[in-house]
Amino acid sequence: MPGPPFLHGEEVDLHAVAEEDAEFVARGRNDPEVRPWLPRSRPHAVAEASEDIEGYMNDDSDGLGLLACVDGEPIGLLSMFMFEPDSGHAFIGAWFVPEEQGQGYGTDAVGRFVEYGFDERRLHRIGAAARADNDASRATLEKLGFVQEGRHREHYYVDGEYVDQITYGLLESEWQAD
């Protein structure tokens, strides 16, 4: 059971990631329905998830990981990383366990995370990326107002073939306008 919520969405609460969440993080990263959408091709042990939790997920200067939970149960992981405080830029990423996908949780959680980035971290721009064939992630980003900014051709190697990456950006003024 995660600690107290850091941010509240409509249905999803976002919690600080703790050492006891390492097993959930490793399980999600290795899930055969989640893993292909992540930029990772090798197995991830619980020990590696623990290192990430102690490292970049809790390094306020460069990264932040938050556990997405519904009714106190973890359903996914969100990350904000590559902070550029001088320019007010950061990137976000997220994944959700397969049984919780398609229920609007991603839109709720990512939307609240974006709001946090603009309102509390004073970001000016938030970037994101998705595989070109990841319709669900792309739809979530576009629903939240992210604008497609580019395409990195044959960026990912997945199941024996190369797949393009679509890059997105959202400016604070665009978020505030919605």
Cα–Cα distance between 154 and 89 in angstroms, integer?
25
DSSP 109: H
Strand locations in 46-172, DSSP E? 63-70, 73-84, 89-96, 125-131, 147-158, 161-171
Query: How many distinct structural domains can be found in the chain?
Result: 1
Measured between alpha carbons, how far is residue 137 from residues 50, 98, 131, 132, 174 in Å? 26, 13, 8, 9, 19
The pLDDT assigned to 52 comes to 78
Q: Mark 75-93 as b/e (b = at least 16 C-beta within 10 Å).
A: bbbbbbeebeeeebbbbbb
The pLDDT assigned to 1 comes to 60
Residues 6+ apart with CB under 8 A from 23: 46, 49
Q: State the virtual CA torsion across 31, 37, 43, 45 in degrees, nearest 10.
A: -70
**Low pLDDT (below 70) residues in the chain:** 1, 40-41, 57, 59-61, 178
The pLDDT assigned to 40 comes to 67
Alpha helices (runs of H) in 35-104, residue ranges in sequence order: 46-54
Question: Domain residues for 142?
Answer: 5-177
pTM of the model as a whole: 0.90
The pLDDT assigned to 29 comes to 87
Q: What is the CATH number of the domain that holds 9?
A: 3.40.630.30
